[in-house]
Structure 1
Amino acid sequence: MNRVSVFLMVLVLCTNSFFSKGQNSEYKINTIVIDAGHGGKDPGAIGKHSYEKNIVLSIALKTGNYIKENFPDIKVVYTRDTDVFIPLQERPEIANRCKADLFISIHANSLKNNTRTYGTETFILGLHKSEDNLAVAMKENSVMLYEDDYSNKYEGFNPKDPASYIIFNLMHSLHIDNSTSMAQHTEYQFKSRVGRQSRGVKAAELWVLRKASMPSVLIEVGFISNPKEEKFLLSEKGQDYMASGIFRAFRSYKEEIERHSSRTLVIKKTEVADTNSDEVCFCIQVKSSSKRIPLNSKVFEGLGTIEEHLINGVYKYSVGHSTNLKTVINKKREIKRRVSDCFIVAYYKGNPISIKEAKNIQKS
């Protein structure tokens, strides 16, 4: 492993996204993938008069049309534009192959024996903090049960077994800040402009988001188990309103992140593993902030060597850099006593990558 010396400052000009896309000096959104949940043999949630798959397909197509009309230079890709079944693992892979800058998965919710609950909610990838969030994750992940040999395809994951969700503990949160931003813009638009009841931004272990290599959100546009909300979501007007809300959220998100340069600033206080080397480097992210935090701040006291990255206007701070994942996992246990929400990230040749990709590179 190459090593770098004290106080080395490296300025890296990134590409059009987190994963090298060119030599542009500014971050621009070029491609967006819109995923209409379920489809074909999988109806999704079932209301008294509707299927989730039909409602979300209409909203997805309308959202894409709004984007095309207002941003003709942006490529809009649909995971499906008709009533067909798309395997769960294929949906984020479509986004990955397109090298998309944003992945939006659109769904509708439902509760058994409950016609009173209503409202929108937008999910990002993360560990669930309530049984309700886990229930949503189980519902959306259960799509894989429609596929042959799903256990092998999804690495033994059982969407109905709470124990399976432990695997998400090591999932990196590289895009958590941008995903959260898109989710917040979405819920704001639903509440303030569309006049819907917002149930807020939430985190859950959603497979469709786990496999996406870009900022991503899963939007639940409402509960079709609620008669009033089902009627709204079935109407042309209601679908137009929800699509325009998602579009306006995307427009605000786009404006926000494109205000920032895609330059990444790395400051190293002392000798640490080089995240720009040809070897995979693992580390523990302990803090992120829209404002720069001095490296000698008390918030980092006792954590060891701090590395700072400025990515699209968000400062990210990490510790415990090593080429050995087990070493970093052990280090995380120690850091977690001080920073409860810390998580592991990986870098390769100066680019952030997923933990799974890092393992594959090390095996090859």
Structure 2
Amino acid sequence: MQTTHKYRIVLLLLTFISTLTSHNSLFAQSDKFVVVLDAGHGGHDSGNVGNGHSEKNIALKVTLEVGKALAKNPDIKVIYTRKTDVFVELFERANIANKADADLFVSIHCNAHSSQASGTETFVLGEKNTGRNFDVAKRENEVIFLEDNYKENYAGFDPSSPESTIAIGIEQEVYVEQSIVLARKIEDNFINKAKRKSRGLKQASLLVIRNTYMPSVLVEVGFLTNKSEGSFLNTKAGQTKMAHAIKVAVLDYKNELDQNVGSHILTGQNETAVLEDLTPRIYNGITFKVQIAASSRALEAKSYNFKGLADISREKAGNLYKYYSGETSDFNKVKQLQDEAKSKGYSGAFIVAYKGGKRISMTEALKSTKD
């Protein structure tokens, strides 16, 4: 009997350790390129049911297909906000991405309209909540009413009020341009690879991407309320086509970032940035840098390797090397450095923050005390 008791103790310890390991693997910073995939709706939130089709089920199937394809790349780690038919609060979806320190957040949905409207749309965060864009934001944001503590979690946010959807935290502004790059790639692939009609890139204040601190997009793969498009999206072949287009866009985005080193720059912007003489905006104890590239190549952190940009530093993360320009506690100064990097061809340059030598989210950094 004593031996049996010992075995039980060992089994409990192993189970506990296994639980801790799996929890940490989800939320610890990964050395890989981390993509969080979010299947819209779920559980008692069915989403739209145009022509009898289920948004929550179609979104999940497309999301799982995207993730399965991306996971074949050894340099990518895929995390899902849900893999089954369960309800996940909007703020928790963003929390999963933030805790994982993700590089990208992609939320997948199906559209609806009272007409026979058709086509794909990819949304990034923005304040232009007018007309159709506001209708989409309102519909997606109204999901919070299905949550038990929505008043507490969203501080009185009202999806029906345009004024309520306008405010965008400054921590989000630094990721909008990168989100636009990914969104354009997704819509281009819907046209060229999936052979679908695209309604283009849109901007709206969507809660699920508003609370993330990485490049984030919300993808509407088509209208279930359109008879033909709804039938297409309800098929395995249709879901595979849409998933493939999204997967290729994510890989293209990552590859462009990886290759954004030295002479391999994709120079889409040649205009010279205007560096304004802005009043210093100092954050005590915070160090801001501009990430200009990530690559498997270990280049010397010298100005001549990065088109003359100053104060180059390098950080190893797994098999990748991340390269940064500048180092300052002045947020306005680092925004100038970001503009300078973009003017020299680093179109995907973005701002990162450190505290005590440790990388932290922009949300946390910008909540710190200003001097």
TM-score of the superposed pair, with normalisation by structure 2: 0.68
| Counterpart among 43, 46, 59 of residue 46 in structure 2 | 43
Deviation at 1:207, TM superposition (A): 0.8
Distance, in Å, in 2 between the alignment partners of 1:159 and 1:33 is 25
Q: Equivalents in 1 of 2:233, 2:132: separation in Å?
A: 22
CA distance in 1, matches of 2:56, 2:35: 20
- CA gap of 1:358–1:241, structure 2 versus 1, over 3 A, is same
Question: 1:362 matched to which residue of 2?
Answer: 369
d(CA) in 2 for partners of 1:315 and 1:244? 23
What secondary structure does 2:65 align onto?
helix
C-alpha distance 271-186 of structure 1, shift in aligned 2 (>3 A): closer
Aligned partner of residue 212 in structure 2, secondary structure? coil
| 1:136-156 CA-partner distances (Å, limit 9, x unpaired) | 111111111101121111011
Q: Which has the higher contact order (CA 8 A, sep 6+)?
A: 1
Q: Which residue of 1 aligns with 2:280?
A: 273
RMSD over equivalenced CA pairs, Å: 3.5
Q: Which of 89, 96, 99 is 1:97 aligned to?
A: 99
Do the aligned partners of 2:257 and 2:348 also contact (CA within 8 Å) in 1? no
Superposition map of 1:118-267 within 5 A:
118-128=118-128, 130-168=130-168, 172-261=172-261
Q: Residues of 1 paired with 2:70 and 2:207: CA distance?
A: 26
Q: Which residue in 1 is equivalent to 2:110?
A: 108
For 1:346 and 1:35, how far apart are their aligned partners in 2? Answer: 24
Find the aligned partners of 2:349 and 2:254 in 1 and give their Cα distance.
20
Offset of 1:93 from its aligned partner? 0.6
Larger CA deviation: 34-43 vs 166-175 = 166-175
**Partner Cα distance (2:278, 2:213) in 1:** 30
Aligned pair in 2 of structure 1 residues 271, 216: CA closer, same or farther (>3 Å)? closer
Cα displacement (A) at 1:361 = 2.2
Deviations 1:2-52 (A, max 9, x none): xxxxxxxxxxxxxxxxxxx69xxxxx8521110000000000111112111
Larger Rg computed on CA atoms: 2
Deviations 1:33-83 (CA, angstroms, capped at 9, x unpaired): 1000000000011111211100000000000111112x0331111100000
Task: Give aligned pairs, total.
Answer: 285
User: What secondary structure is seen at the aligned counterpart in 2 of 1:230?
Assistant: helix
Distance change (3 Å), C-alpha of 1:352 and 1:270: farther
Contact 2:51 2:225 in 1 (8 A): yes
Counterpart in 2 of 1:326?
Answer: none
Distance in 2 between residues matched to 1:241 and 1:130, nearest whole Å:
31
Give the CA deviation at 1:269.
Answer: 9.1
Give, in angstroms, the shift of residue 206 of structure 1. Answer: 0.6
Structure 1 or 2: more helix by fraction: 2
* Aligned match of 1:84: 86
TM-aligned CA deviation for residue 280 of structure 1: 8.3
1:32–1:279 CA distance, 2 compared to 1 (3 A): closer
Deviations 1:160-211 (A, max 9, x none): 2222113237564111121111100000000111111000011100111111
Distance 1:270 1:43, change over 3 A: closer
Distance change (3 Å), C-alpha of 1:157 and 1:184: same
State, as a whole percentage, how many aligned pairs show the same letter.
Answer: 38
Gaps of 5+ in 2: 1-28, 263-273, 289-306, 310-331
| 1:167 alignment partner, SS class | coil
Indicate the residue corresponding to 2:324 in structure 1.
none
* Aligned partners of 1:103 and 1:214 also within 8 Å: yes
Q: CA deviation at 1:359?
A: 5.5
Q: Give the SS at the match of 1:195.
A: coil
Which consecutive aligned stretches of 4+ in structure 1 deviate over 6 angstroms post-superposition?
Answer: 267-272, 345-348
Which amino acid letter does the alignment assign opposite residue 337 of structure 2?
Answer: E
What is the 5 A alignment of 1:280-295?
A: none
Tell me how far apart the structure 2 counterparts of residues 126 and 49 of structure 1 sit (CA, whole Å): 32
Partner of 2:337: helix, strand, or coil?
A: strand
- Per the alignment, do residues 271 and 174 of structure 1 end up closer, same or farther by CA in structure 2, a change over 3 Å counting? closer
Distance 1:270 1:42 in 2: 49
